[in-house]
Amino acid sequence: MSIAVNGQSVVPPGFRFHPTEEELLTYYLAKKVALQRIDLDVIRDIDLNKLEPWDIQERCRIGTGPQNDWYLFSHKDKKYPTGTRTNRATAAGFWKATGRDKAI
């Protein structure tokens, strides 16, 4: 079941998406990695290297109400094919790395 029409999220009034970290990992991410279908298509596939930070809210919005959290799937792109550095460049600039990586 998909809840997107013409690329826009369409959800019933009052719909809330507040998954726990465990639900995000054991249900959504596990199914995504296993290439299985997710029942409700509420987490978007986004290429962060083609998207500016100020566009995330609109692309990942669920419903029409105010939202403080955005959920998305994105691949980590390498800067060089044989390297380990992450490509953070966008059309208008780059994503700035802040903080440290956190093991999940």
Residue range 10-32, pLDDT digits in tens: 667 777 788 899 999 999 999 99
CA 82 to CA 64: how far, in whole Å?
Answer: 42
CA 94 to CA 37: how far, in whole Å?
Answer: 32
Asked if 75 contacts 45 with a C-beta cutoff of 8 angstroms, the reply is no
Fold category of 1-104 in CATH: 2.170.150
Asked if 87 contacts 77 with a C-beta cutoff of 8 angstroms, the reply is yes
pTM for the model stands at: 0.66
Question: Is 71 exposed, middle or buried (CB count within 10 Å of its CB: 0-12, 13-18, 19+)?
Answer: middle
| pLDDT tens string 48-100 | 878 888 888 788 777 667 777 888 888 877 788 888 877 778 888 877 778 88
Domain ranges for the chain = 1-104
